[in-house]
């Protein structure tokens, strides 16, 4: 028999207002979230497991409440504490707490559990593109995209899709970096690419660019998707290169201050190789996340 699974939000209200509260009024957000959880769960049977993903709106009181409603409470952060500090005062209250962030795992003595690939498209040996960039616009992603495009060989085949989530964020970005937005305008879209289409493009690429937020050191899902499809990875995350998860001929580190010649050399090196597909599955992830705690490592 399988389990009955119920999904709840990590914060209430779960909207833009809730995100603002998380930044400027975290105690209020935690109070609202706790009351919402009590309203939703007080009359429910006890759970075998509560799994907390990020848990931005939770606080110590909410964790204690969830422990009263479940046999086991497991937390997982696929942010970093620098980007999502909310769990800092409650992660020790859970039965097991893990992180995807390599530096946080080292600094806080937490179990490191890497993400996974959920790609279902078949591995494609035919490569229509030498390089693909499929990303949402934020942080330095446009600057990296421009650098990479300038570094590509003249005859390179490439696919670049930069998703802008709203006209407001586009306008703010345009005001900050007008020339960059103008130069990359043809690659910017206000309509997201479907996941199926994104994976089709990714699987048809020899190299893809992976961008990790500067405040995070965890290996992104895009890296694991690429690995499962046999696609080489150009990334701004040096920790991903050092992680030992990828063969060194299938991944390369591109720093923010790299020049065109450096980027071109890295791309040429990756194009000379053929990355072999290897998949870390959702099952692998869950096995690691839910494994029984040892005496030295929750």
Domain ranges, ordered by start, for the chain: 16-116+285-289, 129-271
In terms of Cα–Cα distance, which of 12, 10, 4 is closest to 76? 10
Report pLDDT digits (tens) over 63-73: 999 999 999 99
284's tokens: 């692998």
Q: What's the fold here for domain 129-271? A: Rossmann fold (3.40.50)
Please check the confidence at residue 271 and state whether its pLDDT lies above 70.
yes
Cβ-Cβ contacts under 8 Å for 244 (sequence gap 6 or more): none
DSSP 188: E
Contacts 24+ apart (CB under 8 A), 176-179: 177/142, 177/143
Report pLDDT digits (tens) over 196-225: 999 999 999 999 999 999 999 999 999 999
Q: What is the chain's Cα-based Rg?
A: 21
pLDDT of residue 296: 45
Kindly report the three-state secondary structure assignment for every residue of 268-281: HHHHCCCCCCCCCC
Output the pTM of the full model: 0.90
* Beta-strand relationship, 96-99 and 73-77: parallel
pLDDT of residue 156: 96
pLDDT of residue 292: 78
Question: What are the E-state strand segments in the chain?
Answer: 50-53, 73-77, 96-99, 129-136, 158-163, 188-189, 205-210, 232-235, 251-253
Average pLDDT over residues 271-290: 93
Report pLDDT digits (tens) over 97-108: 999 999 999 999
Average pLDDT over residues 138-154: 95
Average pLDDT over residues 111-134: 89
pLDDT of residue 295: 44
Cβ-Cβ contacts under 8 Å for 92 (sequence gap 6 or more): none
């Amino acid at each position: 028999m399988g389990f009955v699974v119920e999904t709840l939000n990590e914060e209430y209200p779960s909207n833009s207002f809730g995100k603002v509260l998380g930044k400027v009024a975290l105690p209020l957000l935690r109070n609202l979230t706790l009351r919402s959880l009590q309203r939703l769960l007080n009359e429910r049977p006890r759970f075998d497991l509560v799994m907390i993903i990020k848990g931005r709106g939770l606080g110590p009181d909410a964790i204690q409440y969830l422990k009263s409603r479940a046999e086991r409470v497991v937390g997982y952060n696929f942010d970093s504490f620098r980007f999502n500090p909310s769990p800092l005062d409650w992660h020790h209250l859970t039965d097991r707490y893990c992180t995807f962030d390599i530096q946080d795992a080292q600094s806080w003595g937490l179990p490191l559990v890497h993400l996974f690939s959920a790609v279902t498209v078949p591995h494609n040996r035919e490569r229509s593109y030498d390089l693909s960039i499929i990303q949402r616009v934020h942080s330095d992603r446009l600057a990296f995209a421009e650098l990479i495009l300038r570094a590509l060989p003249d005859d390179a085949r490439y696919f670049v899709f930069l998703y802008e989530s709203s006209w407001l964020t586009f306008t703010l970005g345009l005001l900050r970096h007008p020339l960059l937005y103008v130069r990359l305008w043809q690659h910017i879209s206000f309509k997201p690419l479907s996941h199926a289409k994104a994976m089709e493009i990714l699987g048809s690429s020899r190299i893809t660019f992976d961008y990790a937020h500067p405040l995070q050191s965890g290996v992104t899902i895009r890296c694991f998707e690429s690995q499962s499809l046999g696609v080489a990875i150009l990334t701004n995350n040096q920790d991903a290169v050092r992680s030992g998860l990828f063969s060194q001929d299938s991944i390369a580190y591109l720093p923010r201050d790299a020049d065109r010649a450096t980027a071109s050399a890295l791309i040429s090196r990756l194009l000379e190789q053929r990355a072999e597909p290897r998949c870390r599955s959702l099952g692998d992830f869950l096995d690691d996340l839910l494994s029984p705690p040892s005496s030295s490592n929750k």
